[in-house]
Amino acid sequence: MPVLASPSETLVDPKSRAFYVHSMELMRGGGLPFLVGGAYAFARYTGIERHTKDFDVFIRREDFPRAKEIFEAAGYECELTFSHWLGKALKGEDFIDLIFSAGNGEAAVDELWFDYAVESVVFDVEVKLIPAEEMIWSKGLIMERERFDGADVAHVILATGDRMDWQRLIDRYGEHWRGLYAHLVLFGLFYPSKRSQVPPWVMKELGGRIAKETGEPDAGEKVCYGTIVSRQQYLTDVNAWGYKDARLRPIGNLTAEEIAHWTAGIEIDGTK
């Protein structure tokens, strides 16, 4: 059954609403697969409304050239803002974000995002939303000083945990599973009357991994994974203290140039 539109859509400026609708029609008409995320997907899953000018669309990285072609043919500007995760389609003061991973290079959009997408209606347009599991995967690794998406993760679990594909979510986190476990431990603190939203086997599985590692020797390689969750707060570790940056290939998914560009962006747009 489709997830229906939320009341907050009526508060969007009519001009911006028309822009978003036209943008979705362009992508659909051009055969560009896309998913709606951001505040609109979050509202559908949790019932929490946010009034934001951002309109987040998720596409595969390999589809960006096609998106650029479609939007520029329609008179938009289209830029690859950060080559590893974000582009924008702009017309006048309105824009949409074209997202293909998280800023840390993790949570890349792939076929599974589309396979498990949820049918919905946004601005009277039938669309598909990013899955709740992938929303948690991407949000759960954002822990900046000025932005921590832990409350979003907790609210999505509260709303959807009883029907979530937990094994897929664990698999998504991969070697960063401790990040997921941290959110689940906090969820039990936040909502003691709803701890059953996280199946017992999930907590036993991840808790067992912790227990197995306890008392084992430290990892041999001096790597800082703090850069995965914050592009700003662990720069001293990698620039002065001799830690390898976990975002950098082959450990992570980013090149040195992409990391430098993303770090330079701190002065422009804060720690988004």
- Ranges for all domains in the chain classified under CATH 3.30.460.40: 7-130
What type of residue is 80?
L
Please state the pTM of the whole predicted model: 0.92
Topology adopted by domain 7-130: Beta Polymerase; domain 2 (3.30.460)
- Nearest partner of 158 among 128, 184, 130, judged by Cα: 184
**pLDDT tens, N- to C-terminus, the chain (272 residues):** 445 445 455 568 899 999 999 999 999 999 999 999 999 999 999 999 987 778 999 999 999 999 999 999 999 999 999 999 999 999 999 999 999 999 999 999 999 999 999 999 999 999 999 999 999 999 999 999 999 999 999 999 999 999 999 999 999 999 999 999 999 999 999 999 999 999 999 999 999 999 999 999 999 999 999 999 999 999 999 999 999 999 999 999 999 999 999 999 997 555 44
SS3 letters across 130-177: CCHHHHHHHHCCCECCCCECHHHHHHHHHHHHHHCCHHHHHHHHHHHH
pLDDT at 268: 59
Q: Is 86 helix (H, G, I), strand (E, B) or coil?
A: strand
